[in-house]
Homo-oligomer: A and B are copies of this chain.
Amino acid sequence: MNDVSARFQWWERPDLNYENGKLKFAGHAVSELVRRHGTPSFFYNASRVTANIKRLHQALEGAGFADRFRILYAMKANRFAPLLTYLKTSGLVGIDACSPNEVEHAISCGFRPEDISFTNTSLSREDLGRLTQWDGMSMNCDSIHAIQKWGELGQGRDIGIRINPAVGIGREGNDKLQYSGALTSKFGIYREQLADAMAMARRYQLRITKIHFHTGCGYLTPQLESWENIIRTCLWFVDQIETVETVNVGGGLGVPHVAGDAPLDLSRWAAILKEHFLARPVKIEIEPGDYIAKDAGILCLTVNAIEKKQNTMFVGVNAGFAIALEPAVYGLPFQPVPALLRQGRHQIVSIAGHINEALDIFYHDIELPPLQEDDCLVLINAGAYSSSMASNHCMRGQFKEFLLV
């Protein structure tokens, strides 16, 4: 293996790159951030978050949607309060929330009820009671049952309905992230239920002004054809309800995870929306989480131990799937990146967490420059679905978070 320290890495970009062998992130040397703040620490680059959102704005504006669209940040991806307030003050996004506590948290961070769109399944009486307090919040009912319960709490309101097109999409080769598809899912109202759903809405004079669907996570350019098929299927629902003013096409826009992934082609993505929606008198909503936050965050760890066992060189770090579970649970790898590039022979290593479970491996068999004990190792793409899903399993739930503005 030759020296690749000068070689450009697939994940490098202006705000995350090597300069003279030092990893820079958001204008900081990562080694310096870590010296000051310790590990394990998540750092989020506010400018990257903004850039990700502006890219979406430009794509939708470029497709001619002008002010006929709204971007809702799926806060379940990362609810770090400073990040939410930063997003609010940017004025660029609203919020997609999926529990009453999320709504309250978004409001505590500065969002108004009008900024928030709510969608979830299996709501309790208490959930519904709390949700009905926030006048101006947009409510998507994901079952006939939810329409009924919402109607009982207040007639004559506007609602959205989450529909299920019975076709799904997800990251290639990954079946854990499909939200609709061959297997019947718990989400949304199926085609054969629509007439009953509309009747239930009429019973409580609820006006269905929005169709919502969310069919999977992590799609990239190769999946856009499937995504277009989903949209075609969903248009059937839109055409059944003449009061529809908004179509929420969900989230699921992915980011590259491994060297072979190309970034999602947003112009092609927007062209699909243009073809199917621009001529219709509807507004578009999207609900990205990953696309906004994931590549804006890094998780900085310390190398505790390096030891070869059989044919595997294990690099043990000071955190595990308790605070970053996508590799273990979803099969989504986190590219590991040394904060300081050492010269020397590269090696194939496996990055192991410190949780006492076999599945606690961050990356199997990846070529990296030399590492030593006490080195800082960075996991990229840690801005979404890491800290927000953290547990205290084995009492290893400790971490810090920092918004770099």
Interface, chain A (partner B; CB < 8 A): 76, 79, 98-99, 101-102, 105, 119-125, 127, 143-146, 149, 164, 166, 176-179, 184-188, 190, 192-193, 302, 304-307, 309-312, 314, 316-318, 320, 329, 350, 352-354, 356-361, 374, 388-396, 398
Contact = CB atoms under 8 A, between A and B. Distances in A.
Given A127-B304, A164-B309, 9 more contacts: A120-B356, A121-B352, A122-B304, A124-B354, A125-B304, A186-B309, A186-B316, A192-B310, A390-B391
A310 B166 contact: yes
Given A99-B394, A395-B79, A311 B184 contact: yes
A122 B318 contact: yes
Q: Which of A105, A178, A179, A354 has the most CB of B within 10 A?
A: A354
Given A122-B317, A304-B122, A329-B329, A101 B352 contact: no
23 contacts: A76-B393, A76-B394, A98-B356, A98-B394, A99-B395, A101-B395, A101-B396, A105-B395, A121-B305, A121-B354, A121-B356, A122-B304, A122-B353, A122-B354, A124-B318, A127-B354, A145-B307, A176-B358, A178-B358, A184-B309, A184-B311, A185-B358, A186-B361
A102 B394 CA distance: 7
Contact of A305 (B143, B192, B316, B388): B143
B186 A314 contact: yes
Given A178-B358, A358-B177, A358-B187, A122 B391 contact: no
Contact of A193 (B187, B188, B309, B359): B309
A120 B186 contact: no
